[in-house]
Amino acid sequence: MIANTAFLIGLTLGLARDAQAWTDGMPFEQVEHNFYRAAQQGLEATLAWTDGPGGAAIELPAGELVRRLLPVARRGLEEWGVEPAECEWALSPVEVRAASGQTGARWQRAALTALEPELGRPRALSAMLQAYLERAARETPVDSWSLPAREGRVRVAIAPEVDAVPESAEEFLRWLGGPVLLRQPGRNRSRTRAVVTLLHGNEPSGVRAVHAWLRSGAVPAVDAVFVIAAVSAALESPGFAHRQLPGARDLNRCFVPPHEGPEGELAREILNLLDSVGPEALVDLHNNTGRSIPYGVGPRAGSEELALVSLFGDRYVHSDLRLGALVEIAAGAFPSVVIECGRAGAEAADVVAREGLARFLGAPRLGSRAAHHVQVMTEPLRVEVLSGLRLGLGEAPAEGVDLTLAAEIDRHNFDRLEPGHRIGWLAPGAPWPLRARGRDGRDVSHELFEVCDGVLRTRREIIPIMITNDPGIALSDCLFYVVRAAAADPA
């Protein structure tokens, strides 16, 4: 802006004393032609000029004309008392632009070309102007501007006011449209707490709790951010039925680098956003697929993490497993826990999420006082069904399957199962069906289970958690985890 003004005023002053000779030598049609060519083609325009005041008509590229006229503008400014150093400072961007060819207009066109394939024209125009204004505000010359990066997939917005929040959680999701980060200002603006939910599209308690919180009109004690991720998977018919979109990968297995594919990119973007927020604590709200009491999971079991868990329940699984989940990365940066609120679709689970969230956002200080109420389980072993096995569910051995899981197996979450407890039935001739692995990857399934007369049962006492009674999930993810109670803290 300063450069353009300096060039215009300097030229006016520099050319003024020969104004008559310039105007005599240049018919109006030529000036009008120059004006339109310059507007249309910028530095690439060929412009009519004269070889000095009153000289012969010539044509030359706009960039070349700018270079010829710069000394005229400089002289004009200096004759009117502008310091030479200041002339140099004000005019040098014009010189650089003419040499590099990068003008504001060219930058806008290049930016639009970069953004349009991803965003479509209307959104690309708006994103381009936004990026233009941001760069202009930095007051760096246009030739040094970078092109805007492709817009991220997570929309960042201010949380809606009470009246603007749609009535149902489903309408709220449709209104969100895709992954978002919503910010809600708190009473104390100096700290922030983060809520992540819907990393799995079939686990509705968290987003229902966020929706209820926003509908309540309550003001959080400190700033809050809400990351709501798998919105499209949740909306996919019949609603809250898909862990991820068909053909997509499980988002909560994609947070560990390399962040490949669309899910990896989304995971990385969420991590970057959370990093820039720098929350004092994070809770990631999930549901179980089977019946369960609420409990926390995470890679750290300090008093801050246990205090977070105590807002929702009284069990914590201190897990050293590396699956690629958000909490594995986030917990290294700030106190972070997963909360498994209970079975998806169960009213009790929604209540756990809603009440826990209100405590998490409402408490002026999170503290660590309640940490000792939480019972810690540790060293989870992941019990998987070997791939290729046909799995069923029933009260007796089912026909045509290799392994029949005892129905209502999910009743036993967090129970101590005695040796000999029946897990299911193995068909005659079927191979050993399970694998149980901890952090070191060693299969200890034969230490935990045995098959006697076609019955698969426990060989020693185990505490199973996260039991699923959905054969599809048992095959694609795992059957359950086995944990052991951590030794009581002597302190």
Task: Select 203 or 350, whichever has its Cβ closest to Zn ion.
Answer: 203
- Residue 206 or 264: the one with the smaller Cβ distance to Zn ion is 206
457 binds Zn ion (CB under 5 A): no
Nearest-approach distance from CB 474 to Zn ion, in angstroms: 15
Size of the site for Zn ion (CB under 5 A): 3
For the bound state, the minimum distance from the C-beta of residue 202 to Zn ion, rounded and expressed in Å, comes to 8
Considering the complex, state which of residue 74 and residue 200 has its C-beta at the smaller distance from Zn ion: 200
Point out which span in 136-144, 196-204, 292-300, 360-368 binds Zn ion (CB under 5 A): 196-204
Residue 481 C-beta: closest distance to Zn ion, Å: 13
Which of 74, 97, 200, 291 forms a contact with Zn ion (CB under 5 A)? Answer: 200
Per-residue HEC secondary structure of the chain comes to: CHHHHHHHHHHHHHHHCCHHHHHHHCCHHHHHHHHHHHHHHHHHCEEEEECCCCCCEEEEEHHHHHHHHHHHHHHHHHHCCCCHHHHHHHHHHHHHHHHHCCCHHHHHHHHHHHHHHHHCHHHHHHHHHHHHHHHHHCCCCHHHCCCCCCCCCCEEEECCCHHHCCCCHHHHHHHHCCCEEEEECCCEEEEEEEEEECCCCCCCHHHHHHHHHHHHCCCCCEEEEEEECCHHHHHCCCCCCCCCCCCCCCHHHCCCCCCCHHHHHHHHHHHHHHHHHCCCEEEEEEEECCCCCCEEEECCCCHHHHHHHHCCCCEEEECCCCCCCHHHHHCCCCCEEEEEEEECCCHHHHHHHHHHHHHHHHCCCCCCHHHHHCEEEEEEEEEEECCCCCEEEECCCCCCCCEEEECCHHHHCCCCECCCCEEEEECCCCCCCEEEECCCCCECHHHHEEEECCEEEECCCEEEECCCCCHHHHHHCCCEEEEEECCCCCC
Least separation in angstroms between residue 195's CB and Zn ion is 14
Mark 317-356 with x for binding to Zn ion (rule: CB under 5 A) and - for no binding: ----------------------------------------
Residue in the shown chain whose Cβ atom is closest to Zn ion: 286
Query: Which one of the spans 13-21, 200-208, 260-268, 471-479 is the region binding Zn ion (CB under 5 A)?
Result: 200-208
Sole window of 166-174, 197-205, 258-266, 349-357 interacting with Zn ion (rule: CB under 5 A): 197-205
Shortest approach of Zn ion to residue 145 CB, angstroms?
42
Residues numbered 273 to 292 that lie near Zn ion (CB under 5 A) are: 286
Smallest gap, in angstroms, from Cβ of residue 372 to Zn ion? 27
Q: Choose between 131 and 327: whose C-beta lies nearer to Zn ion.
A: 327
Q: Whole-number minimum distance, CB 338 to Zn ion, in Å?
A: 8
Q: By CB under 5 A, name the binding residues for Zn ion.
A: 200, 203, 286
